[in-house]
């Protein structure tokens, strides 16, 4: 199966004004290959481009954006097989992250690696989440 990319439409209501970032920074929201969907690392931005200050808000929006990429492909969170999340100040924010994560991943338990990081690409960002899903 050849590689193909997933495009987030400019008028997408979950990504909002941030949908153009993939083009601007030269990467794909997700790539399909060999029955898998590789979703780029997503951060917790609201559709208006603002970023919540707390880990709960950022986690919520990062997972909503993940859910939206999956929806565009006809998939759901239950199709996710692997997740890697990058956490700034992981020990300080772990409880808030786990609280929101448990709301989204009630019905599935993908393989998950949580990695502490000294920072992300933009100051104030606390989490980035990348995922792999399997087409059934």
- pLDDT tens digits for range 4-42: 999 999 999 999 999 999 988 989 999 999 999 999 999
Distance, CA of 127 to CA of 86 (rounded, Å)? 5
Q: How many helices and strands, by DSSP H and E, does the chain display?
A: 3, 6
Q: What pLDDT shows up at residue 1?
A: 56
Beta-strand pair 30-33/4-6: antiparallel
CA distances 59 to 28, 29, 38, 104, 136, Å, are: 21, 17, 19, 10, 27
Confidence of residue 136 (pLDDT cuts 50, 70, 90): confident
The answer to whether domain 4-134 has CATH 2.60.220.30 is no
- pLDDT tens digits for range 67-79: 999 999 999 999 9
């Amino acid at each position: 199966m050849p590689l193909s990319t997933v495009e987030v439409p400019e008028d997408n209501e979950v990504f909002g004004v941030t949908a153009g970032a993939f083009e601007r920074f030269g990467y794909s929201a997700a790539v399909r290959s060999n029955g898998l969907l590789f979703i780029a690392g997503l951060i917790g931005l609201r559709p208006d481009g603002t970023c919540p200050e707390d880990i709960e808000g950022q986690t919520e929006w990062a997972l909503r954006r993940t859910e939206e990429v999956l929806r565009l492909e006809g998939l759901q969170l239950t199709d996710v097989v692997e997740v890697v999340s990058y956490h700034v100040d992981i020990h300080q924010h772990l409880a808030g992250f786990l609280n929101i994560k448990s709301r989204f991943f009630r019905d599935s338990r993908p393989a998950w690696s949580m990695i502490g990081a000294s920072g992300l690409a933009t100051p104030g960002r606390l989490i980035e989440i990348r995922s792999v899903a399997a087409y059934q």
